[in-house]
Structure 1
Amino acid sequence: MTEATGRVALVTGASSGIGAATARLLAARGMRVAVDYLHNGTAAEEVVAGIEAAGGHAMAVRADVRDPAAVENMVERVQAAWAGIGVLVNNTPTPYAIKSFRDMTWEELGRKLDDEMRAAFTVTKAVLPAMTEQRWGRIIYLGNGLSRRPRAGMIALGTAKAALAQFARYLAQELGPQGITVNVVEPGPVEDTRMTHVPDEEHRRRHTAATPLGRLAHPDDVAHAVAFYAGEDSAFMTGTTAAVNGGMAMY
């Protein structure tokens, strides 16, 4: 038994990669975990089955986290099954263009900004009433090191994640008096995710060579940082960012 036992966590984008690793780790630490997905219900159910086989509690829930009605329905399902959500891990990846600013249209840049912020805004709004009532909450947003360190072709993702990081700081200031912490986990390149193919093999070699710990992150590395923010050990930390990049960038 730990202090996390009985807490309800919602992990968005949890059918694979970082989200799946996070769902499994939070469940292993005693939380009941809602595994959100949009397209791959089979993979989400596999995550749930793995958690339950290990003695944990989980349920798969489908929602487009940019859609307020779908999110409200998802949150109502979780609350009906368990209780109010106390931990939100906002991890849902949304598509983005990989190209230079010269070649990019406003629609491409604006779509990524809108998708990123709409998802964070919508899901946070939905879980906030229960957190406020409990006077306890943990909100963790998945950022990206590109919000601080630009890389060619990644202006859409980097700009959107920079907006998300500042959004988190404003929420941390506003929600602190209600016992709710808001933090960001900011990975560098991560192996074994849907975006693993984005850096080609040459970029991957360069990234690895530039990392003092000698490898790229795995989803479990990121999940452990998220789990730290989701528990009591981080109770007096809010508005902070954890860089999970093996020392590739030091802030």
Structure 2
Amino acid sequence: MTNVQRDGRVALVTGASRGIGAAVARVLASRGMRVVVNYRSSRGEADEVVASIGSAGGRAMAVQADVRDGAAVAGMLEQVRAAMGEVEVLVHNALVPYAIKSFETISVDELGSKVEQEVRAAFLVTKAVVAGMTSRGYGRIVYLGAVLSRRPDEGMIALGTAKAALSSFARFVAQELGPRGITVNVVEPGPVSGLLHAALDQQQQARMAAQTALGRIASPDDVARAVAFYAGDDSGCITGTTAPVNGGLVMN
């Protein structure tokens, strides 16, 4: 039986208009959290996520902000505080665009820009919520990583390097914020169904699934449930860790 949390904590999910972010928003709302659905440009999809949460009896709001923009992040937090209060749970999922190129063809600017923007976005959203979490002596921060940070794949040097930097960043933040009652962890998905359709055909996806110990590719809900564990009270003595959600494609 699911351990349902009904404490009404305020959770901010960045990049939550679709895919993993939308799944996370719905799962957290189903566990009693009041969810902020952040989006950059997909207002219609964000509104659909909010509506689906509302129709299921939850509470959510959509707030636009490019999380690479400090002023936009500050404005988003002002809106959230006015409507719901301080953010107690941050799930940073927003994906910064990147070049899909080999080491031979990628430029130093393309690689460096991805790494810089990845860390910049994580830094800005984390800075924005830490004061409120500190005032309560409670906080949950979850970053979405990628299995590519540990399992290289063709053309993915920019994303893999950036997510490796994010994982390292998370451990430093975890160490510093731990005494304040704030936990910081990374959920690291492998390939996710529903997000591969544009890149891989059914046969390719089947071959990828066959490489996993479980014989299947993770769903957005699989990832969302792992995030929800770190976002809740059951994970209160876990920080600075990385949880792989890849069906055993890569094992620690």
Q: TM-score, normalised by structure 2?
A: 0.96
Tell me if 1:20 matches 2:18.
no
Structure 1 residue runs of 5 or longer lacking an equivalent are none
Aligned to 2:162: 160
Aligned to 1:226: 227
Write the deviation string for residues 17-37 of structure 1: whole angstroms up to 9, x where unpaired.
Answer: 000000000000000000000
Query: What is the distance in 2 between the residues matched to 1:81 and 1:227?
Result: 23
What is the deviation of 1:205? Answer: 2.9
Query: What is the distance in 2 between the residues matched to 1:203 and 1:114?
Result: 32
Query: What is the distance in 1 between the residues matched to 2:234 and 2:131?
Result: 24
Contact 1:62-1:74 at 8 Å conserved across structures: yes
Q: SS in structure 1 opposite 2:95?
A: coil
Q: SS in structure 1 opposite 2:106?
A: coil
Aligned to 2:209: 208
Q: SS in structure 1 opposite 2:159?
A: helix
Listed as ranges, the matches of 1:182-201 within 5 Å are 182-193=184-195, 196-199=197-200, 201=202
Q: SS in structure 2 opposite 1:182?
A: strand
Query: What is the distance in 1 between the residues matched to 2:114 and 2:203?
Result: 26
Q: SS in structure 2 opposite 1:30?
A: coil
Structure 2 residue runs of 5 or longer lacking an equivalent are none
Q: Which consecutive aligned stretches of 4+ in structure 1 deviate over 6 angstroms post-superposition?
A: none
Aligned partner letter, 1:111: S
Q: TM-score, normalised by structure 1?
A: 0.96
Aligned to 1:40: 42
What is the deviation of 1:197? Answer: 2.5
Query: What is the distance in 2 between the residues matched to 1:213 and 1:91?
Result: 25
Query: What is the distance in 2 between the residues matched to 1:121 and 1:196?
Result: 31
Residues 1:137 and 1:4: Cα distance change in structure 2 (over 3 Å): farther
Aligned to 1:217: 218
What is the deviation of 1:206? Answer: 2.6
CA RMSD of aligned residues (A): 1.3
Query: What is the distance in 1 between the residues matched to 2:57 and 2:36?
Result: 15
Aligned partner letter, 2:245: V
Identity of matched residues, %: 62
Aligned to 1:130: 132
Q: SS in structure 1 opposite 2:234?
A: coil
Aligned to 2:151: 149
Listed as ranges, the matches of 1:8-157 within 5 Å are 8-157=10-159
Count of residues paired in the alignment: 250
Q: SS in structure 1 opposite 2:235?
A: coil
Contact 1:4-1:231 at 8 Å conserved across structures: no
